[in-house]
Structure 1
Amino acid sequence: MQETVDVVVIGGGQAGLAAGYHLRRAGLDFVVLDGQDSPGGAWQHTWDSLHLFSPAAYSSLPGRLMPPQPGETYPDAAHVVGYLTDYEQRYDLPVHRPVRVEAVHRDGPFLRVEADAGTWRARAVISATGTWARPFVPAVAGRTEFRGAQLHTVEYQRPADFAGQKVIVVGGGNSGAQIAADLAHGSDLTWVTLREPRYLADDIDGRALFDAATARRRALDEGRADTGGVASLGDIVAVPPVRAVRDAGLLKAQPMFTRLTPTGVAWADGMTAEADAIIWCTGFRPALAHLAPLGLRGPQGHIPTAGTQALGEPRLHLLGYGDWTGPASATLIGVGRPARDAARAIADLLR
């Protein structure tokens, strides 16, 4: 199978759907290639207790408000999956799944997108594959010696799986705090962070985070001093479950250990802790292996961009990977604006 279109969008999660919405409004011929078996992107694979940081009305993609979830101020992941499924259907977006893209090559006036289901030739490509598929675990001494279970955020599901066990949760971001809070009552928990946990003020949620990210991008674009964006406010949003466990004194962080042992972890001062399981809540890297043939990778694995447009290949846009591809572009509320900008830039390029 080979098809020629104006634009191929790689990834059918929230960023890919936002791109599809704006490409449709721009009158472009496009397809969305999604490696998942069903709609919902990475939200299908999160842990059971995960909730958004913001109310539904402030967690919406362009053109369609997320409806509130009955009984919940902050919707859960299943509600988000339902919303994304409805969004895709409502706008009749041409999503092909499961299609796993293997490589993107230059092919004269086209970019050739090779996948397990065929080949597409496109005049432009939007990569919106996110980061969930590339969990990051730091290189810590002794990792191969530990005899217990090791898993990453992407593999954690529910506290019942660790009832009565000694569990070490590593990571001082939102995932680490939320999973540690999840485990605080039913497990013997040790929470380890690289630095002292920094909580945002209790009344701050995703709305304020989006505003902070936008203000930072505006300041940088105008040549003003870096405001620090979200990072200046803290690392952890104090969502109600985290706040409750923290205020009960059950969420106390230990400094980062220096090595793993066969039965647990050890610190430089000789202190040790035993563990049945270690959960690495240590973040992600952008899933960009499919773009390797273009030779665009820069420092830290990022592709240098101006906004969403790759500097080394103007026919390629990157969407939803973090602030380097648009303020808060890895969030539901934040991805709409860079998606609109990418669609407009592609429309101008193709003219």
Structure 2
Amino acid sequence: MKRLDVVVIGAGQAGLATGRLLADAGLDFAIFDAGDRTGDSWRRRYEGLTLFTPRVYSGLGGMAMAGEPTGYPDKDEFADYLEAYAARFRLPVEHRAVVASITRDSGGRFIVSGSGFDTIAADAVVMATGAFRDPIVPSWAAALPSEVAAMPAEEFGDGSHLPPGPLLVVGDGASGRDIAVLARPKREVVLATGRPRRLLPERLLGKSLWWWLDVTGLVRAPTRSLRGRAMRRSDPFPNRGRRALSDLAAEGIRIKPRATGVAAGMVGFADGSAVRPAAVVWAIGYKADWSLIEVENVLDGNCVVRHDDGISPVEGLYFVGLPWQRNRASGLVMGVSADAAVIVDHLLRRHLARHR
């Protein structure tokens, strides 16, 4: 069995930011990723997707993004940036490596098993898969007629593969609104909303909203602080590209309240109306799946990861890229390098103590 100091699971922005710091420290590690290429988790997302943050706030530590700093990179540009980042710092990414289980032996080492790689014994594991893995699908989805094409947002692509007829987008977060706008020129679109969303202007006094959040420190307000808790409750996103519901309605998108269920092939809404869709896109959000970590005390009673700024109570286990891990920036590219630095600092101190 091969022995490593650290295994990093996931070669997205969080895994690569962590990997660069581990490489700088001279540790023996590997980064496992299920994709064929670094950045594939971004390449497969829907057409037209851009990052929330401008390029100036979308680079990882040690390598800024090229291009107009105030512009927004699209998914393919960012995927290529991640691939270039891994190449520049010669990070040991192993592709097509699917981790199936993480256990612990009697000596306290983590045993990482799966397909596409030999089983590894590691002193530490960094989970960098993020919390946006499994799309949330309502319980009534199973009642949809078999001929209705239903899929999560990441499988929408450009929508050209969908059958003709009305498209129902369930969920009006940023992805749901983007997909509704993308699909509208070619078909009838119905957008089912959820909880009220707070949209902020993209620019204030000529400056990006993210510039203001950065210089005021709001984006880095600790999660458990008064400012952090207030931001988390509202969790606004920029109204970039005129994505207010009134703007969407003006483009011919039918805005409906929460979808409540299916009856006779019709999806019903909270106002009593209904529609018969030809296709449905789930844009409600995502949930984490930590079932591969077969170690006690990782999750609390609600199946939520136990951690303090990404440091698990299970010694040697770490998380990077969780939303609100340390602050609002944690779930964005702009925050993962700082979070990775906290994790790697703790990991190195533990490593040195164990090898004195």
Task: Say yes or no: TM over 0.5.
Answer: yes
SS at match of 1:329: helix
Shift in alpha-carbon separation, 1:140–1:75, aligned structure 2, 3 A? same
Shift of 1:240: 1.8
Asked if the contact 2:149–2:162 (Cα under 8 Å) also holds between the matched residues in 1, the reply is: no
Q: 1:259 aligns with which of 261, 264, 269?
A: 261
Pairing 1:198–2:198 present:
yes
Asked if the contact 1:18–1:339 (Cα under 8 Å) also holds between the matched residues in 2, the reply is: yes
Q: Which amino acid aligns with 1:8?
A: V
Question: Normalising to structure 2: TM-score of the pair?
Answer: 0.87
Indicate the residue corresponding to 1:80 in structure 2. Answer: 78
SS at match of 1:335: helix
Indicate the residue corresponding to 2:130 in structure 1. Answer: 130
Q: Which amino acid aligns with 2:6?
A: V
Alignment of 1:179-218 (within 5 A): 179-203=179-203, 205-207=209-211, 211-217=217-223
Residue by residue over 1:270-328, the C-alpha shift from the partner in whole angstroms, topping out at 9 and shown as x without a partner, is 422121111110111123222134452224432110111112x0210011121136543
Asked if the contact 2:200–2:238 (Cα under 8 Å) also holds between the matched residues in 1, the reply is: yes
Task: Give the number of equivalent residue pairs.
Answer: 343
Indicate the residue corresponding to 2:103 in structure 1. Answer: 105
Alignment gaps of 5+ in structure 1: none
Identity %: 27
Asked if the contact 2:257–2:270 (Cα under 8 Å) also holds between the matched residues in 1, the reply is: no
Asked if the contact 1:197–1:253 (Cα under 8 Å) also holds between the matched residues in 2, the reply is: no
Indicate the residue corresponding to 2:88 in structure 1. Answer: 90
In 1, the alpha carbon distance for the partners of 2:59 and 2:219 equals 17
Asked if the contact 2:169–2:192 (Cα under 8 Å) also holds between the matched residues in 1, the reply is: yes
> RMSD of the alignment, in Å?
2.6
Question: Normalising to structure 1: TM-score of the pair?
Answer: 0.88
Alignment gaps of 5+ in structure 2: none
Shift in alpha-carbon separation, 1:269–1:135, aligned structure 2, 3 A? closer
In 1, the alpha carbon distance for the partners of 2:66 and 2:232 equals 26
Residue by residue over 1:57-112, the C-alpha shift from the partner in whole angstroms, topping out at 9 and shown as x without a partner, is 21011110011169x92111110011001000000001111111111111113111
In 2, the alpha carbon distance for the partners of 1:68 and 1:245 equals 32
Alignment of 1:1-351 (within 5 A): 2-68=1-67, 73-107=71-105, 108-116=107-115, 117-140=117-140, 143-145=143-145, 147-162=147-162, 165-203=165-203, 205-207=209-211, 211-217=217-223, 220=224, 224=226, 226-229=228-231, 231-232=233-234, 234=236, 236-240=237-241, 242=243, 246=247, 249-250=250-251, 251=253, 253-267=255-269, 270-311=272-313, 313-324=314-325, 327-351=328-352
In 1, the alpha carbon distance for the partners of 2:138 and 2:213 equals 27
Asked if the contact 1:246–1:252 (Cα under 8 Å) also holds between the matched residues in 2, the reply is: no
Asked if the contact 2:22–2:29 (Cα under 8 Å) also holds between the matched residues in 1, the reply is: yes
